[in-house]
Structure 1
């Protein structure tokens, strides 16, 4: 086994860990942030929403930049920027400055996020990628799920500012490791489509804004711009910012939809569950974090063997099992919340959710990338990550709107929220059932 390639993977995972950690770490610390910096509930919402907005919108551009200028360089540049933005978040003197610095964090995260899938392809041979994606999946799943736990521990034992400062040494170590262990390249020579970049950035900005604010005007503008982007991409051929032709493949399309479902449900589940545990049942931040702890523990333990399973049997069966476990786990957690059972029963659902993440992340990512030509890997990864992230934003937005709209009727609100989450999980399972057993390059990258 080549130790340098696994060292390179560790460097990639350190950065990927912190950018996903910061999507959820703020939730438990929100009361402490409000007590220290002031601001209303809407301002607190934008501490998270601003990060998600800036994270989601530039992903297509970032994926293409990786193709053009080398994903290693783009990744390390983004990681350095994330460290600086994290330090600034920790020193924020007001809620407004914190939101601004969180937006900078999101932009740096967007530069980093599409690159690991491309670099894993570069580091590992085809018969090793399942294991690599398994480890990557365990870290990705654990980071999202550890956010509330680590946020609760740091806030209770130190100060809320440490939820950001803890990123700085992690990023510094990862940059040093990445310089030494991640293989580089000279990048590509394709033309960068500035018009497509402008259309996609503006369209995705309005789309995410519409999801977060439920603005019909923004939604209409987003549709118009993204339709324009679609026709622009069709005319660009090999120079397209996003290889939309990949969606002609049922494998790439189904993997993207299933991953969007996974991202949406995991993030959408966190808010109502934490509200129920803390505000309805009176748990403290650390107790509340411990209720969901089995999720992260199981994900970390199961993801590497799940990756080896993908190497042996292909991605379809593990993906179907993972998405099935996702639906069952969310049903169980929803029943505990809606029926007002003892919150510690949520730990059983959390353990199943961890297993779902462990088994689903690796095969979905592997299938999406297995059939992509190397020259298009950055664009394909950017597109895959964009769909996942927009799905996550949509899940958070719908959940937040339902909880706010039915604030006076919490039982009904929780029922509607978990009903919605369950439907999205079932949709992800249907997408997984359509995955091919053995995706091929030609299937995904045929001529326009």
Structure 2
């Protein structure tokens, strides 16, 4: 039984690694994609933005589908779709088709993403769950930051199309493992809230599009998004146990504080990656592989520390590890920001990257564990979808704001990088405050 549990976790992590890897792997291959398929900078931007948009928006619906139809089935269906979409991305004959196939990838990733939290809760007892979340956190952190490294290696040694084709055998192996090792269930009997799904999908679509596009239509789109999401909130209040997103869980200090801290973590980690890579390459003259190596300690430290961090969570609870992790996050961003603003030797960024890896290791596991421990088992899928939505929208918002700052201060890049790291520093401090508000003892929110 023990081997089946850990084998099931391995099957979950294989798919989760691939979908997070594809969030960042495209960036370093972008010049090769443009040279091969053509298209302007705006089209190239939407190769990544289309994936993020399609990934972020359906997470609430996907989490609820896991409650209704069994998270194992939804996860394996999403993984199969992700493999097909990845193969199509590698075959794309034009930039327009690549964007379309990336949107399909994002939709499949959204189906997969909320299910591991629910399934880990099902697979592991309380005294092992922290360790399992620790391993899950190490994979999540490593995948996000290994993307540029693997993308550079595959593009340089083979062809940009292999950054997508490499997903196919990984997903196929994960599907085979998942069918055999992940436990299934009969699903739930609650009614699916179609109106809530429509309001949340439309509202989140407009909100994420407004954050990503920064066009003249962004303000009216964001305003309409707020109206739709307020309508969604009123709709959810009337649904009770059938709610698409169990917003009542925000009455739990554990779930609320863990969600806010995870949003801060998601926003800052992704938001700092692009400006750091641009600074190292454009301002300091590093090549793509050399620049990726500067940030490599992040992934290495996260991989090494996440499993023992998870065991620490099992022993002492999540609050102290989360506070340490979020504090390390703020410290690492301060150090990287000082290197950039003071124009120090860029290899000092590696020290900040190592601290960032430790922050990821210490924060992912306890925040996820506390959030899911605050949830009644019947609402686990919806709670996981909501938790992932907050994290992903936070990440999109962080990327959008930093992109807007860099674009607005393009003629003064030094000032632009300084403002960017000031922004991510403030967001990180907000995450520290949220971590201090985590409860020492988690109480499950029921009803």
User: Match for residue 82 of structure 1?
Assistant: 82
1:133-174 deviation digits (Å, cap 9, x = unpaired)? 000000011111111111111111111111111111110000
2:389 counterpart of 1:405: no
User: Match for residue 382 of structure 1?
Assistant: 385
User: Match for residue 13 of structure 2?
Assistant: 13
Moved more, 396-405 or 149-158: 149-158
User: Secondary structure at 2:159's aligned position in 1?
Assistant: coil
Determine the C-alpha separation between the residues in 1 that align with 2:281 and 2:136: 31
Determine the C-alpha separation between the residues in 2 that align with 1:281 and 1:413: 15
User: Match for residue 190 of structure 2?
Assistant: 190
Report the alpha carbon displacement of residue 127 of structure 1 after superposing the two structures with TM.
0.8
Unaligned ranges ≥5, structure 1 = none
> Quick check: 2:54–2:106 contact (8 Å CA) kept in 1?
yes
Determine the C-alpha separation between the residues in 1 that align with 2:389 and 2:319: 22
User: Match for residue 48 of structure 1?
Assistant: 48
TM-score when scaled to structure 2?
0.98
User: Match for residue 137 of structure 1?
Assistant: 137
> Quick check: 2:329–2:356 contact (8 Å CA) kept in 1?
yes
User: Match for residue 337 of structure 1?
Assistant: 340
2:419 counterpart of 1:416: yes
Report the alpha carbon displacement of residue 359 of structure 1 after superposing the two structures with TM.
0.5
Determine the C-alpha separation between the residues in 2 that align with 1:73 and 1:207: 29
User: Match for residue 294 of structure 2?
Assistant: 291
2:252 counterpart of 1:249: yes
> Quick check: 1:146–1:293 contact (8 Å CA) kept in 2?
yes
Moved more, 147-156 or 354-363: 147-156
Determine the C-alpha separation between the residues in 2 that align with 1:420 and 1:39: 32
Report the alpha carbon displacement of residue 44 of structure 1 after superposing the two structures with TM.
1.3
Please list, as runs of the form range in 1=range in 2, the aligned pairs for 1:86-165 lying within 5 A after superposition. 86-165=86-165
Report the alpha carbon displacement of residue 220 of structure 1 after superposing the two structures with TM.
0.5
Report the alpha carbon displacement of residue 420 of structure 1 after superposing the two structures with TM.
0.3
Please list, as runs of the form range in 1=range in 2, the aligned pairs for 1:231-270 lying within 5 A after superposition. 231-270=234-273
> Quick check: 2:252–2:374 contact (8 Å CA) kept in 1?
no
Alignment match of 1:348 (pick from 346, 351, 354): 351
Report the alpha carbon displacement of residue 431 of structure 1 after superposing the two structures with TM.
0.4
Determine the C-alpha separation between the residues in 2 that align with 1:396 and 1:371: 29
> Quick check: 1:156–1:286 contact (8 Å CA) kept in 2?
no
Unaligned ranges ≥5, structure 2 = none
Determine the C-alpha separation between the residues in 1 that align with 2:97 and 2:357: 35
User: Secondary structure at 2:362's aligned position in 1?
Assistant: helix
Report the alpha carbon displacement of residue 371 of structure 1 after superposing the two structures with TM.
2.0
Determine the C-alpha separation between the residues in 2 that align with 1:374 and 1:329: 36
> Quick check: 2:196–2:236 contact (8 Å CA) kept in 1?
yes
> Quick check: 1:80–1:175 contact (8 Å CA) kept in 2?
yes
User: Secondary structure at 1:190's aligned position in 2?
Assistant: coil
User: Secondary structure at 1:228's aligned position in 2?
Assistant: helix
Determine the C-alpha separation between the residues in 2 that align with 1:400 and 1:146: 21
Report the alpha carbon displacement of residue 95 of structure 1 after superposing the two structures with TM.
1.0
Determine the C-alpha separation between the residues in 1 that align with 2:422 and 2:41: 25
> Quick check: 1:337–1:414 contact (8 Å CA) kept in 2?
yes
User: Match for residue 438 of structure 1?
Assistant: 441
1:283-337 deviation digits (Å, cap 9, x = unpaired)? 1111111111100000000000000000000000000000000000011111111
Determine the C-alpha separation between the residues in 1 that align with 2:285 and 2:90: 28
Report the alpha carbon displacement of residue 30 of structure 1 after superposing the two structures with TM.
1.1
Determine the C-alpha separation between the residues in 2 that align with 1:115 and 1:402: 35
User: Match for residue 66 of structure 1?
Assistant: 66
> Quick check: 2:270–2:398 contact (8 Å CA) kept in 1?
yes
Determine the C-alpha separation between the residues in 1 that align with 2:184 and 2:35: 46
> Quick check: 1:137–1:361 contact (8 Å CA) kept in 2?
yes
